[in-house]
Structures are given as C-alpha cells and as structure tokens.
Amino acid sequence: MSSRFTPNSFLYNTRVSLALLPCLVILAGFGGTISICVGMVGSMVIYILDALQHREAALIAVWVCLGLMNMSFGLTALFFSDTRSIMTPILTSVMNGITLFLTGVWATLQFKWVQLQYPVVVLAFEKLLLGGCLPVAATIQVWGVIAALGLAAAPFCLTVILAILYCLFAMPLVSSFAGGSRKMSIGGGNVRDWSVQGRLEGCIGALLFSLLPPLLYAVTNLGLPSDMQHVWSLLLLTSAPLLMLTTLQGGLWWLTSDAGHHKAAFRLVRVLALAGSLIGLEGRVVLPAFGHYLGLHYPWNYMAISAALFGAGSLMLLHLEGVLSGELGSSLGGAALVMSCGAGGVACGLPVWLMPAPLLAGSGIALFYDSGTIRDYCLFTGGAFATGFWFLHHHYWFLNIEIQTHGLRFLCQVILAALLPATLLPGLIIGRGSGALVSLLMLAQAGLVAYLEGQLHGGALEEGRQSYPGYLVVATSAVGLLLSSKAKEGGLLNSAIAGLLNSIYLAKMALLAHLGPIMAVVVAVTAPMLSNSRAKASTGPALHTPFSLLFTTAALASARLVLFDLLLLFLGYPPSAGLLAGASLVALALAQLPLLQQRYPHSQSARRAVAAMAAFGVLLALLRPPLPEKGFAVCPNLPFGLCPRLWDAAHMPEADQDDARLYGSDETGSNAGAAWLLVLAGIIGLAALVPSGGNIAAKRSRSCGGAALMGVPVGLYLALQLFPNQRLMQAIVCTASSSLAAAVGMIQMGGGGSGLLAFLVMAWASLLPLGLFFQAVLPLPLPQGPLPYGGLTPSFEHERAEAYRASLLAVYAPQALLLALAAKLRVSKSGNMARPPRHPSYASRHLRANRAAGFLGACLPGGPASQKGSVGCPQTGNLACLSWLCIALYLNWQAQGAPDEAIFLLAPSLLLLNQDPLLMRGLKPLRRYAPCSLTVTLYLVVSSLVSVVHATWLQPRALVLAHKQTPFYLLLNLACLAAVLPTHLAFLQFLWKPSQALSMWHYLTTPLSVPAFFLSGPYATKLLAISSLGMAALQF
C-alpha cells in the first residue's frame, strides 16, 4: 500500500486496551495502595489538564504519572516484598517499567499535536507499541494467571492468551497514519510500505506462540515424577498452536509468497498437528475428566473415543481443504460423520434402543451440509436433545443433591431447556432463519446460561473443588459474544438485541468475583436500548421513562448487597449508611445514562436531573450524614412480623460514632445530624449554578443570593460544632459565613465595583474582633458531661478559653484564604495584573501626577476596571491574604509551638497577592515570587534570633552553663546567620529584577552556607543555610 503520512486517530485502541489494561490491573494489584493512589491522582490531573486544553502539560503529566507509578512499584517490590531473592523484585520492576512505557507510548499516540510535529517519532512509537504488546502482555497476564490459579493452569492459559494476542498483533496491520495514495513522497523518493509488522515480527510472534507454552510446562514440571499426563499435556501444548497457525487464514503470512512447493509440507504439518492435538486432548482432558461416564471397558473405550475424535477431526480437515465440496466427498464425509457420532454414542454407553439418536444427529448435520435447509438441521437438534436428555437422566437425575438453593434435578431441567436453543441456533444462524426466532432463542439461551452459571459456580464438591470452574464462565461468555456479533453481522439481530446480549454475557463475568445480582443491574441499564427510535421533546414517550426508572431502581435494589460487598472490599471495613445511600444514588444516576442518551439526547432538563441525582449521591457519600435505623438496618414496628429493610444481618452498615461516644465526654457538643446542613448547603450551591434567563443584573443578584443562602447552613454547621450553647458566638459565625459567601459570589459575578461588596467585606472583617471581644468579656458556658479531676481549675478554664479563641480563628482563616483566592481569580480574569488601571482624566507627564492618577484611577468608579467589575478586588484580596497568613502563623504557634518548617507550607499562599496602588504597587507578575521568599527569610531570621537570645540570656544561668551556651555561642550563631543572609538578599534582588547579572560578591558568599549549616545551633539557621544553597542553584 502506498500512502503519505496523515495525522489520524490511532486505529488499534481496542486491541491495545485488550492487551495492556489487564496488565495494568495485575500490576496495580501487585503494586499495592501506593501505586493505585498515584495512578488515580495522576489520571485526575491528566483529565483536568486535557479538559483545560493544556495538551503539552497533559502529555508531560502522563509520563510523570507513569514514572511515579514505576518508582512506587519498584520501592514496594524492593522493601515490602516477601521473597528473599533480590532478582524477583528487580525482574518485576523491569517488567512493570516496560509495561508502563508502552502505556505512555499508547497515550502519546492519542495527541494530534505530537503527530503533526513529530511524524517520525509517531511511526516509531506505533511500530514499537504493536510489536511489544504481544510479549509484554503475555508475560504479565500469565503472571497474573499464576498468582490466581497456580502453576498447573498457567501453560494452558498462556496458550489461549498467546492465540488471542497473535490474532490481534501478529497478523498484518496497516499503519493508522497512512493517508491518501501518492506515487512519490514529498522529497521525491519512493513511498514506503505502511504495514506495521514485517515478516520478522510475524515469525517471532509465531515462534513465541508455538514454543512458550510447552517450555513453561516443561520448566514448571521439571522435578516431578514422570507420568503419561505430562506426555499428553506436552503433546497438546505443542500441537494446538501449530494446528491454529496452519488452519488460520493467513496464519503463516510471514513466509515467502512463492510457497506453492510448500503446500505438501503445510498439509503434512497440519495433519500431524491435528493428530497430536486429538491424542493430547483425549489423554489429557477427555479420559481423565469423563472416563467414569464411558460405558465400555478397556481398551474398547479408548478405541471408541479415538474413533469419534479422529472422525470429527478428519472431517474438519477435509472441509478446510475443500475436499467435501464434490458429490463423492460429500457422500464419504456424511458416512464418516454418522460413524463418528455412532462411535461417540457407543463410548458413552447409550442403550441399543437409543442408538438411532446420535446416528440421526449425524445424518442431520450431513444433510444440512449439503442442502442448508433448517428442516434437515432439525434432525440434528432432535437427536442431540434426545442424547443429552438420556445422559442427564442416567447420570444425575436421581441424585438428591442441593446446590445453592435448588436441587440437582431442577438444574438438570434448566440445562435441558438451555440445550434446545444451543443446538438449534447454529443452524438458524448459518441457514439465515427468522430474525425474530433467532433473537428470542439467543435471549432465552443467554438468560438460562447466566442463571445456571450463577447457581453452579458457587457450589462445591466434597473435596472443596468448584463444581463449575471459572474458566468455563469465561469460555461461555466468549462464545456468546462471538455468536451475537456474527448474528448481528448477518442481519439476524438488530443493534438493541445484540447490545442486550453483550451486556448479559459481560455481566456474567461478575460471577468470577462472586457478584451474583449484578446481572439484573446491567440488564436494567441496557433496557432503554431496546427501542431504536429517539423520541423528540414533543413526542417523548409518556410511559417508557417511568417504566425504565422503576426497572433500574428495582434492579439496583436487588443488587444492594452486591454494592455493600464492593464497598467493603474496597474500603476494608463496613461502609456507613450515608456512604451506601450516596453510592446507590450515584449508581442509579449512572444507570439512567443509556436512557438519557437514547431518549433525551438534547434535553437539558433531563441532563440536569441526572446530574442533580449524582451530585446529591456524592454529597451523601462524602459527608455521610446519619440516617434513621428503622427501615434501613433495623426492622420497623409493623404488624404480622413484616420487616422491610435495606440491609440484612450479614450486611450491617457501620454506625458513625460521634466524639461523645468515642471519648466519653460531650464537651465538644458534636452533633452528627449537623452534617445535613452541609448537604443542604451543597444542594443550594448546585441550584445556584443552574443557568437561568434574564439580564446580567438579575443573574448577578440570583448568584449572590444563592451564595449568601448557602453560607447560612455552612455557618450554622460550624457554629453548632465549635461553639455549643453559645448563642451569641453562633450568631456571629453564621453571619460571618453568610457575608463572606455573598461577597465571594459577588466578586465572581463581577460585582466588584458596587458598594455592597465593600459593606459585606467590612461586616465580615469586623465580626472577628467583635467575636474575640465577646470571648474575652463573657464568661464561658459550663462544660457538659462530667467535670475533669479537680474541678474547674484556672488552668483548665484558660485552656478552654484558648480552645474557643483558636476555633474562632480557625473559622476565619480558610474564609480569608477563600476570599483572597476569589479576588485573585477575578483580577486575573479582568486582566488588571500587568499594571494598575488609570483614569484618563488624571494622566500627566510628571511622575507624581502619574502616581496620583494610578491611585485615583483604581479607586474611583467609572474607569476601565469598574467596567470589568474588579475595582477594589486587588486591595480586598491582598488584605484577606495577609490576614490569612497572620492567623495561620498564630494558630501554628498555638497548636504546634511554631515549628520552622511550617513557613514553607504557609508562604506560597502569598502568590494570591495582587498588584494594587495601595499596598503592592510594584508587584508585577514577574515579581510574584518575591513576597514568598521574603516571608520565608524574615520568619527564619526572626526565629533564629529568638532562639539564640532565649538560649543565651533568657534561660537560668545554671542551665546556660550546663549546655555551654556562652557569649561565644551567641557570636558564633550570629556569624552563621550573617554568612547566609547575603545569598538570600541576592536571591530576593534576582526575583525583583531578573535581568540583573550576578556579582563576584555573590560567588564568594554562597559557599559560606556550608560551614554555617554545620556550625549553627538553631534549627532555623540550618534551614536558612539549606535554602540559600537552593536559591543559589536556581540563580546559577
């Protein structure tokens, strides 16, 4: 194929996801909680950056996230692994790194700007990704199989995995970026071939597929005693891949094209591979698993089974070669098929009077092969059904065994009911029968198989073995998905029925995690897809929506215990009632998405209703308010012993204990029911975000009113939790929260030029000193509960007063930070950061006139900033930011004793400062880091001086001499402090004027920080020395 490079979407995302996503899940399971948390946080960051159209940053975040995941996995494997060998963690880390690298390559191919700027890299990445998925996915997935099922099943599972991967990645694939045809490339040369795999890659894939399973089996069973089972297993693992490669269309495409003289060799290899596969299947699977069902004695049982298997295998081989198309071949094939079915019936021990049943089945298949009519195929259905009925009745019907909730006889009846559509459907699909009949039979078969597997998979035999292993669940799901896709391609199924069948077969896989009722949820979710017509708003269905809501609600109610088990598995402890209620609402909202997409694709009200349901569920899950026990976890008082409740005795939610129950005191006055106030605040906030009509003033008033109303329950919650039985303080906190919420809403809506904003901010700020004054003059309320030992001592009263004061400041600190953030966002949006706005009437050539014009232009209404609604926002934000810093430093000093490291966490909040003509006139965008650095330096200098003075002069004389803190100690530490300050001052000058070059004095004073670090005593001086080295490195 000759083409030119064309940026395009990557065409093989489905194939790569089938290979890499299971590997990532397996690696996440081995990597532990740290790797999972890093991946989740990284995914959220990548999503946010991509949603904000920061494509380059999103790509960088992808690789940084994958690198952190690899690092966390390596550390976990190295330090927390149970193995004693060092090679195992190293090998697992290497495989994890390779898998994450391929994941990063896959993510890089999704960015169109990378395709436009680096086409050669994109082509190399595509070739690397599609070529590396087969060996990497096979290694990681078989590793997971070994961990889940053990070494015994690993070679056989590896064979299936490699077969799928070979079909996905080793067959010829064309590049996703091959565009329109050209005779010559842009540079004038010949256009390259755009096939991704070469013959070498195909040959390597075939070798891996053929050699890895038998080698793995030989290595894992090397020290075991010799047994014929090992011979049959090796023969089966060696022959099955060769049989698939020789029978698959294009399976050996990597051989030379002039392979006509190799046709005889191909046929010989195919015959030998078929014989080896049949012999291995008979010796490894049929006889060990079903030998006790055979009615013949040795050696006749082997001969009968061999005749049946080799007869069917030879017919398949002749069909592939096209020999059965002629009249003679058809006659011989029919006779061989009837004889094979007869041999199978004899081997199973069928009575003589029932022997016509398998012969009739073989005759029906032979006649259907020639005529293709459903009438002939019904002969096979009748014969197979009669044989299956006798087999179940003869071996299982009389057994009195209970599996889960039903007896074995009932399950045999269900198996017979599922056997009828299973034998009839292949003929209807091949013979293109009635589409309605095919849809009905496939739905019935899917439901019956799902029900049977739900009953059989949980049962166990006497020795603890599963009566229905998990790989059969996977096999039936794969066959069901294949049949539904083929029937849809043949036009026998519409998209709705095919989607419902796929949902049933995929949901059936939840049985592997012992999640039974999840089937009803998936079926209920896909129920709206049964209707293909998209109803418009005027002709919307009146009954379909309530029916679908009722259907999904009932399905989720039936699966509520599954949701409980999932949360228990994820959390590690029983979830609370609020979390369960929130998760149920979120699941119900997600269940309405198919209905929303199918019936109301353009309805904004329907979208908002689903979003509101999901948001309410998220609020319940995060805040976890208390729910009534009656009807949820405890039976209500109803007559006749009725007990409708959501949870049973085995699924009891965890009751959230408040502080009084936990600590035996009610001093905090903690009220768990107050969490409903936060839920109410969230609902009000979501309602205020709903867009509405009207002019700008009406929208602004509505938004500000909603913000003020949202602040009332938030303030009331804080007041009830922090100030119990203090009505005056509760009123102050509630009013302050409401005022601040209204001010923030007004700032965001562009109401910065109004006098109402100044009034709200001043009212909020004045309530803090008012509250501190009332706390100082009013007596404290008596504590609830038992008094401490010794009664109300002065020290105890002082601690209570300090705690209440800290509570009030703790309320104001985040509010001040929120106000500073809102002002910063508004100023950034208005574009007034570059320079202070000026009123045109005050422009002048003189410097003093310019300063006056800048100040007055920013303060007077009617200027450009007033039109943008940001007048007063810079000053408001700066005052709020400085207030936050002061309050945070005080709380840090009171709670932790003012540790010096805290300033590195508090100082970055000064990035919220704005340029204003009153306080920060010269704070340009390029200088925004200077206040942070200045604050860190000043704080550490003051802390160092205080430590030195306190250690030298303020301590008792005996203690000073005991610690050898003499005047020499004072001079030494002052000298160390003086040695590190020049670097800090130079860095501050660099932040203020980045264009200024470094002087020789700076090069000479920077190394002094190293001896200052080792000779200084106060911890703050050591931090100054370390930070000075970092500052110098940034400057250099």
By percentage, how much of the chain surpasses pLDDT 90?
2
Report the phi/psi class of residue 631: left, alpha or beta, with left for phi > 0 and alpha for psi in -120 to 50.
Answer: left
The average pLDDT across 151-165 equals 86
Report the phi/psi class of residue 679: left, alpha or beta, with left for phi > 0 and alpha for psi in -120 to 50.
Answer: alpha
Residue 848 lies in a domain: no
pLDDT of 550 strictly over 50:
yes
Of residues 690 and 101, the one with the higher pLDDT is 101
CA distance 735 to 611: 31
Token digits of residue 623: 């805040």
pLDDT of 820 strictly over 70:
yes
Q: What is the pLDDT of residue 352?
A: 81
Q: pTM here? A: 0.60
Contact criterion met (CB below 8 Å) for 736 and 811 = yes
Give 253-285 pLDDT, tens digit per residue: 777 655 555 677 777 777 888 888 888 888 887
Q: What is the pLDDT of residue 998?
A: 63
Q: Among candidates 243, 266, 247, 244, which has minimal Cα distance to 255?
A: 266
Planar angle of CA 705, 708, 711, nearest 5 degrees: 150
Same-domain check for residues 368 and 280? no
The per-residue DSSP string of 257-308 comes to S--GGGHHHHHHHHHHHHHHHHHHHIIIIIHHHHGGG--S-TTHHHHHHHHH
Q: Return the H-helix or E-strand segment holding 407.
A: strand 406-407
Sorting pLDDT into bands at 50, 70 and 90, what band is 323?
Answer: low
Lowest mean pLDDT among 135-149, 245-259, 478-492: 245-259
User: Quick one: CA torsion of 315, 320, 322, 326, rounded to 10 degrees?
Assistant: 30
Q: What is the pLDDT of residue 536?
A: 41
Planar angle of CA 643, 649, 653, nearest 5 degrees: 100
Contact criterion met (CB below 8 Å) for 454 and 513 = no
Lowest mean pLDDT among 66-70, 749-753, 826-830, 905-909: 749-753
pLDDT of 966 strictly over 50:
yes
Q: Which residues of 975-1011 are buried (b: 16+ CB within 10 A; e: fewer)?
A: ebbebbbbbbebbbbbbbeeeeeeeeebeebbebbee
Lowest mean pLDDT among 521-530, 759-768, 893-902: 521-530
Number of structural domains found in the chain:
4
Residue 425 lies in a domain: yes
Lowest mean pLDDT among 411-425, 711-725, 988-1002: 988-1002
pLDDT of 959 strictly over 50:
no
Give 1006-1024 pLDDT, tens digit per residue: 788 888 888 887 888 888 8
pLDDT of 961 strictly over 60:
no
Give 498-520 pLDDT, tens digit per residue: 877 877 887 777 776 665 555 55
Same-domain check for residues 411 and 471? yes
Q: What is the pLDDT of residue 533?
A: 41
pLDDT of 537 strictly over 70:
no
CA distance 862 to 871: 10
Contact criterion met (CB below 8 Å) for 872 and 861 = no
Three-state DSSP state, 175? coil
Planar angle of CA 269, 315, 422, nearest 5 degrees: 120
CA distance 766 to 545: 53
CA distance 1002 to 929: 20
Q: Last residue of some domain: 383, 414, 445?
A: 383
Three-state DSSP state, 174? strand
Same-domain check for residues 267 and 341? no
Give 837-860 pLDDT, tens digit per residue: 444 433 343 444 344 334 333 333
* CA 681 to each of CA 41, 191, 563, 656, 675: distance values in angstroms, whole numbers, following the listed order: 27, 64, 27, 21, 10
Lowest mean pLDDT among 16-20, 301-305, 698-702, 974-978: 698-702
Residue 789 lies in a domain: no
Give 915-950 pLDDT, tens digit per residue: 877 777 777 777 888 888 899 999 998 888 888 887
Cα-only R_g, the chain = 38
Q: What is the pLDDT of residue 187?
A: 39
Token digits of residue 912: 């919220």
Residue 799 lies in a domain: no
Contacts of 667 (CB under 8 A, 6+ apart): 783, 784, 785
Same-domain check for residues 377 and 407? no
Q: Last residue of some domain: 487, 514, 541?
A: 514
Same-domain check for residues 1012 and 936? yes
Same-domain check for residues 937 and 1024? yes
Same-domain check for residues 376 and 436? no
Same-domain check for residues 435 and 461? yes
Terminal CA-to-CA distance of the chain, rounded, Å? Answer: 54
Residue 960 lies in a domain: yes
Q: Last residue of some domain: 355, 383, 411?
A: 383
Give 101-151 pLDDT, tens digit per residue: 999 999 998 888 888 888 888 888 888 988 888 889 888 888 888 877 778
Three-state DSSP state, 654? strand
Lowest mean pLDDT among 72-76, 578-582, 639-643, 796-800: 639-643
Q: Is 512 exposed, middle or buried (0-12, 13-18, 19+ CB in 10 A)?
A: middle
Residue 890 lies in a domain: no
The average pLDDT across 189-215 equals 76
Q: How many CB atoms lie within 10 A of CB 525?
A: 23
Same-domain check for residues 276 and 244? yes
pLDDT of 564 strictly over 60:
yes
CA distance 307 to 301: 10
Three-state DSSP state, 630? strand
The average pLDDT across 967-979 equals 83
Give 608-634 pLDDT, tens digit per residue: 888 888 888 888 888 888 877 655 556
Residue 597 lies in a domain: no
Give 399-435 pLDDT, tens digit per residue: 887 776 677 888 888 888 888 888 888 888 777 777 7
Same-domain check for residues 449 and 352? no
Highest mean predicted confidence (pLDDT) among 2-16, 525-539, 874-888: 874-888
CA 630 from centre of chain: 35
Mean pLDDT estimate for the chain: 76
| Residue 341 domain boundaries | 300-383
Same-domain check for residues 375 and 405? no
Same-domain check for residues 401 and 510? yes
Q: Which residues of 888-906 are buried (b: 16+ CB within 10 A; e: fewer)?
A: bbebbeeeeeeebebbeeb
Three-state DSSP state, 813? helix
pLDDT of 496 strictly over 50:
yes
* CA 477 to each of CA 415, 485, 815: distance values in angstroms, whole numbers, following the listed order: 16, 12, 55
By percentage, how much of the chain surpasses pLDDT 70?
76
Sorting pLDDT into bands at 50, 70 and 90, what band is 183?
Answer: very low
CA distance 367 to 333: 11
Residue 144 lies in a domain: no
Contact criterion met (CB below 8 Å) for 521 and 559 = yes
Sorting pLDDT into bands at 50, 70 and 90, what band is 56?
Answer: confident
Q: What is the pLDDT of residue 462?
A: 41
